[in-house]
Amino acid sequence: MKGRANDQRILLRQERLLQAMVQKRLNFLVAAKPANIFYLTGFRGSAGVVAIGEGEGTLWVDPRYDLQAREEAVGLRVVVKRSHLLDAAAEHLARHGRGARAGYDESSLTCEGFARLKALTKGKVRWTEAAGMVEALRETKDEEEIASIRAASALTVEALSQTLPLVRPGVSELGLAAEIEYRMKRGGADGPAFETIVASGPRSAWPHARPSSKPLQAGELVIFDLGAILGGYAADMTRTVFLGSPSRRIRQLYAAAEEAQAEGVAAARAGERAGAVDAAARGSLKRRGLDKFFTHSTGHGVGIEIHEQPRLAKGVAARLPYHSVVTVEPGVYIEGLGGVRIEDTVLVSEGFPEILTPAGKDEWIID
C-alpha cells in the first residue's frame, strides 16, 4: 500500500538517479531488472521495463500486473502492453528520444534484448552501457530499508532458534530446512531469501551445499545458512553446530572461524575499503595456518537482493558507504571432515558496526 512517506522516498531515488544520469550525460535509462524496478518505482512484480528520463518516466507491464503496478508504482505512468515489453520501451524512445543518449544495463539484459532495442530505435537513440548505476544507489540504505532488513534479520534469528531444539541424530537435512522455512513464513516472511542450507558431516565442507535426505549423525558438524525476506528486503545468517562431544581439532576450527568473523565484523566500518574486511578475516585464519581452507570471499551486500554490492573480497578498493548492509562470513572447509562458517548481517556505520543477526555463537555443541 502506498503512503506519502514511501512515495517521497521513491521520488527521491528517482531524483538521485536523474542526477547520476546528468553526470554520465544520459537522457534516459532503461532498466529491466526486477530488483532495480522495485527500488526505483515500488512495483514488486517479476516482469517489467522502466524508462526514466528528463520528463515523465514510464513503466511497462503485461496484463498480469495491470492492477498491481497501478497500485504500487510511484512517480511515473504505467502502460500495459501485451507485446514484448522491450519493444514498447524501444518504440517509446524512438518517438520521444530522437538523438538522445540512453543507458542500458548489459549485466541484466540479454544479447537478444539489446538487439531488439537497437533494431526498433533504428539509430534514433544512441545507446551506451550503464551497468551498476542503480546498484550504486542501492548500496546506501535509508532508514526504512534498514528497518525492513532489521525485521527480516530478527525473523531469521527466531526461525533458527525455534528449529535448533529439533536438531538430533536421525533428522534429515531436508527436514530441518523445511522447518526453518515454515517458521519464517509463520512469522510473516515473504519467504526464504534463498534456499536454506543445512549441510552435515563431510557435506558441511561444501560452502553452498543444498540440503539432502541425509540424516544427521552423532559426531558431525552441521551448517545452517538461512535468511528471511520481509517487505522486499533480505537477511542472511550462518551458524554451525556439532552433534556430540567435539574433538580438540573441531574446537580449534570453530574458535578460528569465530575469531576470523569477529575481526572481519570489526573492520566493516564506513569509509573502509571493502577488501580490508576480507583481509582482516583472511589474515586471522592465516595466523592459524587455515587460510587455504577459506575458499570464498568474506561477504557481500544485502538488501532487495541477497547478493548485491558492495562485495567484500580480496583486493576490492571500493570504500564501504555509511549505512550499507553487508554480510561477514568467513569459513573453514576441510574435505572429509566438514566445515565451520559463521555469518552475520551487519549494518555499517562510522563506529563499530551493528550486528543485525545477533544469534548466539557460544552454545554450538548439541549433546
Confidence of residue 105 (pLDDT cuts 50, 70, 90): confident
Class of domain 143-366: alpha beta
Q: Which residue has the cell 558431525?
A: 220
pLDDT reading at 1 higher than 60: no
Residue 335 CB-density burial (10 A; 0-12 exposed, 13-18 middle, 19+ buried): exposed
When pLDDT is averaged across residues 33-54 and rounded to a whole number, the result is: 95
Note if the bond before 202 is cis, omega within 30 degrees: no
- Distance CA(212)–CA(202), nearest Å, equals 13
What pLDDT, on the 0 to 100 scale, is given for residue 113? 87
The whole-number pLDDT of residue 311 equals 97
Task: Report the pLDDT value the prediction gives residue 17, as an integer from 0 to 100.
Answer: 96
Helix pair angle (274-287, 248-267), 10° resolution: 160
pLDDT surpassing 60 at residue 125: yes
Determine the average pLDDT of the residues in 11-22.
96
What would the pLDDT profile of 202-231 be if each residue is shown by its tens digit? 999 999 999 999 999 999 999 999 999 999
pLDDT at 348: 98
Over residues 301-350, the pLDDT tens digits come to: 999 999 999 999 999 999 999 999 999 999 999 999 999 999 999 999 98
pLDDT at 366 over 90: yes
Q: What are the grid coordinates assigned to 189, written together?
A: 516472511
Give the pLDDT of residue 216.
Answer: 98
pLDDT of 107 reads 80
How does residue 106 score in pLDDT terms, banded at 50, 70 and 90?
A: confident
Q: Considering the chain, what is the average pLDDT of its residues?
A: 95
Q: Which amino acid is at 57?
A: G
pLDDT at site 112: 87
Of 14, 79, 72, 22, nearest to 49 by C-alpha is: 79
Topology of domain 4-138, CATH: Creatine Amidinohydrolase; Chain A, domain 1 (3.40.350)
Mean pLDDT of 182-197: 98
- Asked if residue 5 has pLDDT above 50, the reply is yes
- Give 76's contacts (C-beta < 8 A, 6+ positions apart): 14, 41, 50, 52, 56, 57, 58, 59
Lowest mean pLDDT among 46-60, 239-253, 263-277: 46-60
Confidence of residue 174 (pLDDT cuts 50, 70, 90): very high
pLDDT digits (tens, 9 = 90+) for 127-168: 999 989 999 999 999 999 999 999 999 999 999 999 999 999
Cα torsion at 151, 156, 161, 162 (round to 10°)? 100
Predicted local distance difference test score (pLDDT) of residue 2: 59
Domain boundaries, the chain: 4-138, 143-366
pLDDT of 88 higher than 50: yes
